[in-house]
Structure 1
Amino acid sequence: MQLALTCRDAYDVAMPRFLSEVVLGGTSVMDGPEQITLFCRYMLEDPQNRIRHLRVLEIVEGAFVSAEGEGGGAWVADFSCAAILADMLRKATNLRKLAIRDLEPLLQHEPAIADAMSHLTRLQDLSFYLVGKCTLEMLGRTKCHPYRLEFGMWKDGPRVAGDTKAFDEYASSLHTVNLWQVACLLESFGPDYVGEGVRVLGLGGRVPLLSTICREFPNVRTITFAPECSVKEEAPTANWTSLDHVDTSSPLPFFSCNVRRLDLRYVLGVVQTRLSRMQVIDRTVKLLTQTKPVVLSCKIKEEQGDTIVERLVPVISQVRFLEVAYTPPQREVGHHEVFAPLQHVNDWTVSPVRCGRS
């Protein structure tokens, strides 16, 4: 960029390369459809020397909204830039990463976007937050073989049969799959589907049986369960042979394999949805017994810390690296909330954890 400011010839050479990775959208009034329109217009003025350098395009929250009225009060959906965006995408044949937060409503408003994206053969990283039937239909028409695919929230009505066919085409190339609130898509995969190349898996929403996921993605090394996920109950039969790291926001005692690292993102000693405090602890003990992690990270509520640690110590003898985050109780002093003194933390680290040789 500094070179581009020195002279016109340097600008013509440097600016297209400076715009090879672009993020559009945001919280400012100028970050909406007008910004996208100006960017696309600039790129289309000289597509041969500008668009061909575009490798990464991220369209974030706020890109398709505008202030209503002269006072700029309410924010309303505004897809007035969709047509020129489709024209620009159609020529962005060297695009490698595409992230669009509001993809589903964008496709519903402007079907030409789907046609433009279907011809981007070099796409390797796809990330869409709001997805739906139009998104899955568009992916079914694509000719790319992405390395990474990420979905956020389902933003549509009932699904149609066969809407996950794109995953069959992507099976040979996918390495990372994140379905943060739409893991239910896995229920529609055919009985013969196997994503052998997937090593990183993120799941949220309604999650199928872990045994089913283990069959569909047998070579996963890292699996993450988002805070809002619910997993179907089953006997511990999910036996991943290569699983290395589990990061979970709920106690899931369904594994039948060892892991190297286990990150427990929930707080032991706190009630969870559909689970009492004791159920959370009991299921965590089962999870630790089944996975036998060498690296363990957990959170403990300080009031019940001593009794919780007593339950954990017998099943973590193999742990060599332990991280414990505590949530101390609070008490009100005047008009301020302050943390109470740590009453049990030293006892945890000096006696029971030492006995566990961690």
Structure 2
Amino acid sequence: MARFRSLWQASLNATKRALSWNLEDSMLPTERLVSSFNSKDSISLQQLGSIRRYAGPFARSKLQLDGVKDVIAVASGKGGVGKSTTAVNLAVALANKCNLKVGLLDADVYGPSVPMMMKIDRKPDITEDKTMIPIENYGVRCMSMGFLVEQDAPIVWRGPMVMSALEKMTRGVSWGKLDILVVDMPPGTGDAQLTITQSLQLSGAVIISTPQDVALLDARRGVKMFSKVEVPILGFIENMSCFKCPHCGEPSYIFGKGGTRKTADSMGHHFIGEIPIEVDIRTCSDNGTPIVISSPDSGVSQAYCEAARSIVKKLEELAKGTTFQPEINL
């Protein structure tokens, strides 16, 4: 009986060790270190540096695109907040107003909208080494799943096929020399988003939200996802901030007022700016001419340009290590 009990205890201990190892192995390096701190402890900047050094192998496993200086994600927690419209106009503003070499990756596999918004209706050329050449318009080099399928064809794919497509559009494209690659992320925080954030070396993420509470709740989830994979938040942009009457100019705050700024402040992140609702944004997007190009002197166009300049400044600050000093409270 004693021998049986001894064997049973040994088996139990071995099982516990195996389970413990598997759990530990499934965690990101940062999670493993952070989990060792007591929940009431606060991690100092010095300890944060240790986390980043410890997480180095994970960071190094991400793809650094040849010739691309910075990769930024334009993301939203939910669909319908104007993320793609913002991504397109930011990319065009960065290229035409900030005089940068810019690429635009449409990573929204199920709902690619870059082809229409950028007025591109042809397939990309393929090089001898089987890589795709992005298609350029308005000074921006673009790649989208929409280039490879018919305009109204549904993309009915399961997760693994989507992951494979994203892999091809990141690793299988000859972007050339770029100052910034703008990634129009799919909405939400699922497999596709994790694939991109864990495979690309992102310089930062821009969070797009409308002012209402439902959108802001999902935006918070998006921020936490990026924090989980150690991607800095460049800031929040509030889209559809208000509607200005075309006759009297009086603003109407259809979705609420100032919610995105308050959320950014409460989470300790930069608020980039507001983009109002304008009919011209919709008509320009449908016509394939971004409003930054079609109406460069309009108020909303100027708002996009100011947002682009703010993002460039934030990237420069991050590169110098002057502003990204997060404080983690456990």
TM-score normalised by structure 2 residue count? 0.28
Higher RCO (CA 8 Å, separation ≥ 6 residues): 2
TM-score normalised by structure 1 residue count? 0.27
